[in-house]
Amino acid sequence: MLDHLYMTYGTKLGLLNRFSTQPLAAIGMVLLIIFTVCAIFAPWLAPQDPATLNLAGRLSGPTASHWFGTDELGRDTLSRTIYGARISLIVAVSVVGLSLATGLVAGCLAGFYGGLLDTIINVYLTNAFLALPGILLAIAVVAFMGPGLVNVVLALAITGWVGYARLVRGQVMAIKEREFIEAARALGASDLRILARHILPNIVQPLIVQAAIGMATAVMAEATLSFLGLGVPPPAASWGSMLNDARSHLFDSPHLVFFPAIAVMLCVLSFNFLGDALRDLMDPRTHLETGV
């Protein structure tokens, strides 16, 4: 019993130690914590109301009272940048959650049952969605449904489930032929029990990595839609809409472009760094090479 506990917790501590010693993973974790804190505690962290107008102080550069300056309507850029983290993370988590749930169901059905169901899902449906670039399809959906947070999430989820479905399908097809699945069938386990108890736990790791990278894609897609005027309508603060508003002041007030652009870049990098670190940590070949 003690040996089992030592091996279990020793392995977990080894993985945690590997994770903490990777500089990019540590940077990604710190950045993600900062953005998460900004998103949750935005009303307390923001020095001013992001929608408060002050035309007398418009286009002011960074000062002691406005660390990131003010925009063309005199609104505090720091406060709007902090509130923009809330929009980006809400969209990222919601889009990945919906896409993952849809792709998980579709991929499990296609990979587990195969045949005609696999042809319909994997050939017709996924290829139909892959025929157009995801961002173009999202733009078309939002343009049809209208701007708004819910519509942005639905549009990105509609286009984002395909990658998860194909990943799950491949993993399920590889696992369903293994001996322990045949043993579960011989013992009379139902298809639902086999999927829930024996297959899903074995495909969680690649899904976690895909979800981390998918959040970076969702943040960038939301910023793109907001930049095009198809995201969250004003006066809500979004990094993409802030960049759109700053286009006409690129040379006379470059701080309006700099801060939201840096926020988008760092948020995307944080998810990408974490995704790469998780992929390395969950790859068995990496542990065999390093001995962890």
Convert the pLDDT of each residue in 58-106 to its tens digit.
888 888 888 888 888 888 899 999 999 999 999 999 999 999 999 999 9
Per-residue H/E/C for 85-127: HHHHHHHHHHHHHHHHHHHHHHHHHHHHHCHHHHHHHHHHHHH
> Which sign does the torsion angle of CA 247, 249, 255, 256 carry?
negative
Lookup result for tokens 């939301």: 222
- Kindly tell me the number of DSSP H helices and DSSP E strands found in the chain: 14, 0
The reported pTM is 0.84
C-beta of residue 220 within 8 angstroms of C-beta of residue 134: no
On the question of pLDDT at 2 being above 50, the answer is no
Helix/strand/coil percentages in the chain, nearest 5: 75, 0, 20
Polymer length of the chain: 292
- 152 closest CA partner among 219, 76, 210, 230: 230
C-alpha distances (whole Å) from 26 to each of 35, 48, 93, 263 are 14, 31, 21, 18
Span 125-145, mean pLDDT? 83
* CA distance linking residue 151 with residue 145, whole number of Å: 7
pLDDT (average), residues 111-125: 84
What pLDDT is recorded for position 61? 80
State how far the alpha carbon of 152 is from the alpha carbons of 15, 76, 86, 248, 253, in Å: 37, 25, 14, 25, 29
Of 137, 32, 166, the residue nearest 92 (C-alpha): 32
- For residue 20, what pLDDT is reported? 59
Mean pLDDT of 162-166: 90
Q: Could you report the per-residue pLDDT of 184-202, keeping only the tens digit for each?
A: 888 887 878 888 888 888 8
Percent of the chain with pLDDT over 70: 89
Q: Tokens at residue 33, please? A: 């914590």
pLDDT at 283: 61
Domains recognised in the chain with CATH numbers: 86-280 (1.10.3720.10)
Straight-line distance from the first to the last Cα atom of the chain, in angstroms, rounded to the nearest whole number: 21
Whose tokens are 């449906």? That residue is 125
CA–CA gap between residue 287 and residue 280 (Å, rounded): 9
pLDDT band at 7 (very low <50, low <70, confident <90, very high): very low
